[in-house]
Structure 1
Amino acid sequence: MPQPASETIPKKPSRIQLRNRRIILDAALDVFSQHGFRGATLDQIAEASGLSKPNILYYFDGKEAIHVELLNALMAEWLAPLTDLDPDGDPLEELLGYIRRKMEMSQAYPRESRLFAGEIIQGAPRMGPHLSAGLKPLFDEKCALIQGWMDAGRLAPMDPGHLIFSIWAMTQHYADFDAQVCVLMPDEARARDGATRHVEQMFRKVLTP
């Protein structure tokens, strides 16, 4: 006998519930990016969010559940520019556009970058399966695309995998080491604009056949 619809269709969360989840996730992003997963506590997240610890546990099973949700959302956002590389586009402009987007994301989302860096430094205990199932096939696909462009003489020859690593290292430096950059280049606007020009110019010279 079929169950009543009210028992089979999940109830949609209310606007207050959605708002509270956003508040918790935003507060947790601050805490995790500052203290790392091991150093962060639910008490710190509760204090940063302005909600009680029992209230947080109403929405999430615990610290790890919050951390995993943040990382999953981050991975989808972080990989979008790489996914968008167009095989039919101009190879040099496609890669320079990717680099510009990575610089923009590094400057706009430093907390997210540090969250991801912290997870990887710890050995990716929570993101390991996602790296294998999600990132690895995408990485292999884009390496093959870039290698094809190089074989056709449309880009300077080099190892495409290490090229991607270099782009990640260079662009995410401005998020992960933001405190150092701010001390060494205190004019934030000038440092930001100069960084984008420098990184783009450097890769343009390296990639031009």
Structure 2
Amino acid sequence: MSSGAKKAGSKRGAATAAKKGAILDAALALFSQFGLHGTSLERVAEGAGISKTNLLYYYPSKEALYVAVLKQILDIWLAPLKAFRSDLQPLAAIGEYIRLKLEVSRDYPQASRLFCLEMLQGAPLLMAELTGDLKALIDEKTAIIDGWVTRGQLGPVDAHALIFMIWATTQHYADFATQVEAVSGVTLQDEAFFSRTVANVQRMIIEGIRVR
């Protein structure tokens, strides 16, 4: 293949990725506000700056687009957990996980709210992902936590309960951001509030699992 053909192919690939990214961003904004049934493909296409026909070239149905958005959310949401390793110092690893999860809540609040909405509806379009790749990842990471407990590096704690608590606490700041702001007057976008939140959540959770 000539260098010119390679460059042309590279440009087409970049243009395709940019267009799909614009579609997913527009879809996330609308799905997180109006849900699957309250969002039309016409509005998504308008938000992405393309025609509906062009959108359907990449995502053949609204359900396919919705699942693509949810899978992208899962990738973002689970990235911090994937960094969990057995060779890390347990309390430091858990503290860092809490910080990263709060960063996700700060930087991707729409994604967190849409994921929450899907869970409240029984995850009709995401159950295969939850019982497949997600469960496999959780099984792997809970085994690491169980190993820390067995070796006496953490206090006696149920690994699933610990992960669920971290999820619930950190995602609250995204899913209930309106409530957080109404009560405290700020959101995680405020740097000082974000730092205080990280420190407080880390302290409350870590002190509960520290070896006594």
Partner of 2:193: 191
C-alpha contact 2:85 2:144 (8 A) present in aligned 1:
no
Q: Cα distance 1:165–1:46, how it changes in 2: closer, same or farther (>3 A)?
A: same
The two structures have a TM-score, normalised by structure 2, of 0.86
Q: Deviations over 1:15-67 (max 9, x none)?
A: 43332222111100100111122222212212322333223223221211111
Q: Which amino acid aligns with 2:19?
A: N
Q: Please, which moves more after superposition, 40-49 or 64-73?
A: 40-49
**C-alpha distance in 1, partners of 2:120/2:160?**
20
Deviation at 1:157? Answer: 0.8
> In the alignment, residue 206 of structure 2 is paired with which amino acid?
R
Describe the SS at the equivalent of 1:103: helix
Cα RMSD (Å) of the superposition?
A: 1.8
Alignment gaps of 5+ in structure 1: 1-10
2:132, 2:107 → 1: CA distance?
Answer: 27
Distance 1:90 1:45, change over 3 A: same
Provide Cα deviations, 1:77-136, integer angstroms capped at 9, x if missing partner: 221221211101111111111111111111111111112111111111111111111011
Displacement of 1:14 in angstroms is 4.5
Whichever residue aligns with residue 42 of structure 2, its letter is D
Aligned length: 199
Shift of 1:199: 0.7
Aligned position for 1:200: 202
| 1:104 alignment partner in structure 2 | 103
Measure how far apart 1:169 and its partner are: 0.4
Structure 2: 5+ residue runs without aligned partners?
A: 1-8
My pick for the range that moved more, 52-61 or 106-115, is 52-61
| Counterpart residue number, 1:168 | 167
Does the Cα contact within 8 Å between 1:185 and 1:191 map onto a contact in 2? Answer: no
Q: What letter corresponds to residue 194 of structure 2 in structure 1?
A: R
User: Offset at 1:206?
Assistant: 0.9
TM-score (norm 1): 0.87
Per-residue CA deviation, residues 127-149 of structure 1 (Å, 9 max, x unaligned), is: 11111110112212221211121
State how far apart, in whole Å, the 1-side matches of 2:130 and 2:202 are. 27
Aligned-partner residue type, residue 205 of structure 2 = F
What percentage of residue pairs aligned between the two structures are identical?
Answer: 42
Query: Quick one: structure 1 residues 154 and 22, their matched pair in 2 at CA, closer, same or farther if it must change by over 3 Å?
Result: same
17 and 142 in structure 1: CA distance in 2 versus 1, 3 angstrom threshold: closer
